[in-house]
Amino acid sequence: SKVPTITLNNGVEMPRLGFGVWQVPDREARRAVSTALEAGYRSIDTASAYGNEKGTGKALAASGLAREDVFVTTKLWNDDQGHDSALRALDTSLAKLRLEYVDLYLIHWPQPRRDAYTQTWRAFERIAAEGRARAVGVSNFQPAHLRRLFETSGLVPAVNQIELHPRLVQAELRALHAEHGIATEAWSPLGQGKGLLDSPVIGKIAARHGRTPAQVVLRWHLGLGNVVIPKSVTPARIRENADVFGFELDGQDLAELAGLADGARLGPDPDAFG
């Protein structure tokens, strides 16, 4: 069963489900990514800061999959913001991944106090023009940061990867993305597992559908139009998280899930971080 794709604003197709590898140590990344590729994932989300681009690259090389059949995302870390340092950072990431190009390159955090992201974005324009990333985007950008890019560049990010789960629904950003043709990619889509997946509300919905809580939450994202990148190192869960294309949530389910939206962030405030 093939993972459905969305078409990004430059025509590139991106799988709507990917495999996230934050907090997977490099020595375990090869096995986890291999398990995900065997389970049918065709998109991998890593980052320079995760320290596992090498293990990810080994799994990609060992998979036997054609390069064009896998969608690889990595991210520019905060220390590498700026025009020339961004170009060098991508070289380093590509070498670790053993790739000629990535499918998506993201600015990991806006770091508004440092105020370098518009210069970084100049480098990303060049990276896109040279084909060293098939698409370029951002992560953790708030509306003000996106608007600043719109004012200073003709290149609209293809993706904004943001914290998004049933507790933090990001209505304002999703509306702004829709207006500008930016794909919304949800990080910590499962709310990092603990807590959210134990919610009795989600448990009841899962029981009604004969599904697991994780599958219900991923289905909720897909219904909103989000790209999801759940993480697990447990093979059974890696497979479970990919088996989310055979059912739909109904109005009652969605109304119950809406009751969980208390606005809680699990990660840092993007306006303050870095």
Looking at 112, 157, 166, 230, which residue binds ligand NAD (CB under 6 A)? 230
Q: Which of 60, 55, 59, 62 is nearest to 70 (CA)?
A: 60
Looking at 48, 240, 249, 253, which residue binds ligand NAD (CB under 6 A)? 240
- Catalytic residue numbers read 50
Residues between 125 and 144 with contacts to ligand NAD, criterion CB under 6 A: 139-140
Question: Two tokens at 202?
Answer: 């989600």
The answer to whether 134 and 119 are in contact (CB under 8 A) is: no
Residue 192 binds ligand NAD, judged by CB under 6 A: yes
Question: Among residues 139 and 184, whose Cβ is nearest to ligand NAD?
Answer: 139
Residue 241 binds ligand NAD, judged by CB under 6 A: yes
| Cα–Cα dist 143/209, whole Å | 36
| Cα–Cα dist 25/55, whole Å | 8
Looking at 184, 187, 226, 257, which residue binds ligand NAD (CB under 6 A)? 187
Residue 166 binds ligand NAD, judged by CB under 6 A: no
Query: To the nearest whole angstrom, how small is the minimum distance from the Cβ of residue 163 to ligand NAD?
Result: 7
Please give the C-alpha separations between residue 256 and each of 106, 175, 201, 249, 253, in angstroms, as whole numbers: 33, 22, 7, 11, 5
Query: To the nearest whole angstrom, how small is the minimum distance from the Cβ of residue 215 to ligand NAD?
Result: 7
- Cβ neighbors of 265 (< 8 A, separation 6 or more) are 163, 168
Residues for the chain: how many in total? 274
Residues in contact with ligand NAD by CB under 6 A are 20-22, 45, 108, 139-140, 161, 187-193, 197, 212, 214, 229-232, 237, 240-241, 267
